[in-house]
Every structure is written in C-alpha cells, then in structure tokens.
Amino acid sequence: MLKVTLFTKKGCHLCEDVEAALAALQAKYPHELVTVDITTDRELFARYHLTIPVVRIGEVELEAPITAVQLTAALGGGG
C-alpha cells in the first residue's frame, strides 16, 4: 500500500484541510496516512515550519498550498 506522510503541527488549519482531502481520496486511491508532528523533532521543525503542510508520497514532496489535483496526481491519478 502506498505510504503518504503528512508533516503537520497542532493548530495548522491548512494541514487539517489536506488531511481531509486525503481522506476523501482514500477510497479511490488507497493509501496509508502517517502524520508527523514537526514540533517533536528539531530538524523537521527547522526544515518545514514555514512550509507546512508538506505531503510526501514516494519521491514526490508537495508544499503548501496543496490542491486536491496535486494530491490526486501524486497518488497515481495522473494530472
């Protein structure tokens, strides 16, 4: 199953929107969603604190703003 990593932090409304979009795509594009709180890791926080939400799907990394079209393409739906 395809692994999708969402880099996020508490209170990030854009992150919540991306998580909801991924949930909506789950039936058509099955994937395992792993959320990573960037505030628990100093290096991740330094790397992503200005760009979250960040989604990593395989070799593809998407930074905010992230659209449903981008997510669909990265999940294998073309685009």
- Do 53 and 7 meet the contact criterion of CB atoms below 8 Å apart? yes
Distance of alpha carbon 22 from the chain centroid: 8
Percent of the residues in the chain that have a pLDDT greater than 90, as a whole number = 95
pLDDT of residue 14: 97
Q: What is the dihedral of CA 50, 51, 53, 56, to 10 degrees?
A: -140
4 pLDDT above the threshold of 90:
yes
pLDDT of residue 77: 78
Residues 6+ apart with CB under 8 A from 61: 54, 55
More confident residue, 78 or 26: 26
pLDDT tens-digit map of 33-56: 999 999 999 999 999 999 999 999
pLDDT of residue 78: 65
Q: Report domain 2-77's class.
A: alpha beta
Structure tokens at 16: 């919540």
